[in-house]
Amino acid sequence: MSDAPILTAESILATAIRDALDGYVGTYNGRPKVYYQLAEQGSPLPYVIYQCQTDIGRMDWIGRTGATVQLTVKALATAAKAARDLLATVAPGMNSISISGYTVQARYLRTVAIPPTPSGVYQSAHVYRIRIEAT
C-alpha cells in the first residue's frame, strides 16, 4: 500500500462489519437486522446498530499506512437481559471481520452502560478499536 491513508475506510468497514454480524441476528424486509448508524424505519426489536465514535484516523507502521477508528456495537431489545444476550451472541462476529484485499482487526476496549429509553428500549454496548490496512 502507498503511504496515502485508506480514504474509503468507513464504507469498507461498514460493509465488513455488517457481513460479519449478519448471521447472528434475524432479518427484516429480507435484510439482516444489523444497521450502520441508524436502524431501518419500522425494524422490530431486537436488532444491532454499529457506529463510529471517532473520526477515522491515519495509522502509520514501518513502510505501511492504514486507518483506525473507535466503533460502538449496540444491541437493542425490549428487556435488559435480551439486549445483553444479543450483544454476547454477536460479539464473536467482531473477531471474524474480513474483506478481500484488507486486513481488519477489532480489539475490544470496554462495555458502555446505557440506560433504557423512556419507551422501554434497552441497550447493551461494546466499544472496539478497529484497524484496517490494505494487503
Say how far apart CA 36 and CA 92 lie, in whole Å.
18
* 9-134 CATH pick, 3.30.70.260, 3.40.1190.10, 3.30.2000.30, 3.10.270.10: 3.30.2000.30
Over residues 21-56, the pLDDT tens digits come to 998 999 999 999 999 999 999 999 999 999 998 877
Over residues 88-112, the pLDDT tens digits come to 999 999 999 988 888 899 999 999 9
Angle at 94 between CA 67 and CA 121, to 5 degrees: 110
User: What global pTM score does this model have?
Assistant: 0.87
- The residues that bridge with 123 in the sheet, in sequence order, are 76
